[in-house]
Amino acid sequence: MAYTITPWQDRFRTPDPATLRKTVDPESVESFDRVRSFLRGLHDVVETPGWHGPTYCWSLEYRLAGREEPLAILIPSPIDLQLAMPIDAEFLGQLPIRRMKRAIRDGLDLASPPFDTTWAIWSLAPGSMLEDLEDLVGRRVRFIEEAGGN
């Protein structure tokens, strides 16, 4: 039995976005396209593939100009398309958490104590909370801009 490795998992070959799109479950391609289009459409955002270890493999990183940390990463896992975003305590503290949908709050919880990460993550199931995530990303961009870009 031969072991095959997908372009998503092959850390020694950088895939392009079209190749990563092919790794996504067919039911999630529409969500992949929508999120990718939204993120690419943000002012001063650059899209690049980035290796994120054996868990997130090759993902698409979206960075605001002049920032080292990604604004978000789109994780084209063949079994669970995901969006991840670094969230700091200051940004989290100014969000209207109680008014947000449960699925959004659950993702934000992962970036809060007692968890040992600042990354919030959401599964992008077809027909899920894409509009709410777009709103959250927009809030994050405005927060960064108001803080002077750092």
State the pLDDT at residue 111: 80
CB atoms within 10 A of CB 127: 9
Query: Is residue 107 within 8 Å of residue 115, measured between CB atoms?
Result: no
Instruction: Determine the length of the chain.
Output: 150
15-74 pLDDT, tens digit each: 999 999 999 999 999 999 999 999 999 999 999 999 999 999 999 999 998 899 999 999
Q: Where are the domains of the chain?
A: 30-146
Cα dihedral value 103, 108, 114, 118, nearest 10: 140
Taking CA 57 as the corner, what is the angle to CA 11 and CA 15, rounded to the nearest 5 degrees?
55
State the pLDDT at residue 38: 97
Topology annotation, domain 30-146: Aspartate Aminotransferase, domain 1 (3.90.1150)
36-53 pLDDT, tens digit each: 999 999 999 999 999 999
Residue 149, pLDDT above cutoff 60: no
Q: Which distant-in-sequence residues (6+ apart) come within 8 Å of 60 by Cβ?
A: 17, 20, 36, 39, 47, 48, 49, 50, 73, 74, 76
